[in-house]
Amino acid sequence: MSVVELDDKGRITIPKRMRRILGRKVLLIDVGDRIEIVPIPEDPFEVLKGSFNTKKPFRELRKEAEALAEGEAR
């Protein structure tokens, strides 16, 4: 765990050892009393390859995925 401060522009500096774990892109999720930082794979589509065997519309899939992500973050 690390304590960091916001600069005048609202930015934070993430410690180097944590940046190595997170990678280049992260998802910030507001879960009410805190913000969760979730790493995003370099190629998220490669991770998902073969997992979409459905005829559901994209909007419905996205809504389900957002609900699942919020549930996991809590």
Higher pLDDT, 50 or 35: 35
Please, what is the average pLDDT of the chain? 87
pLDDT value for 72: 83
Question: 5 falls in which pLDDT band (50, 70, 90)?
Answer: very high
pLDDT value for 54: 75
Question: 51 falls in which pLDDT band (50, 70, 90)?
Answer: confident
**Region of residue 49 (phi > 0: left; psi between -120 and 50: alpha; otherwise: beta):** beta
Residue pLDDT, tens place only, 55-67: 888 888 889 999 9
Question: Cβ distance 4 to 12 under 8 Å?
Answer: yes
Half-sphere exposure (CA, 13 Å, Cβ side) for 15?
7
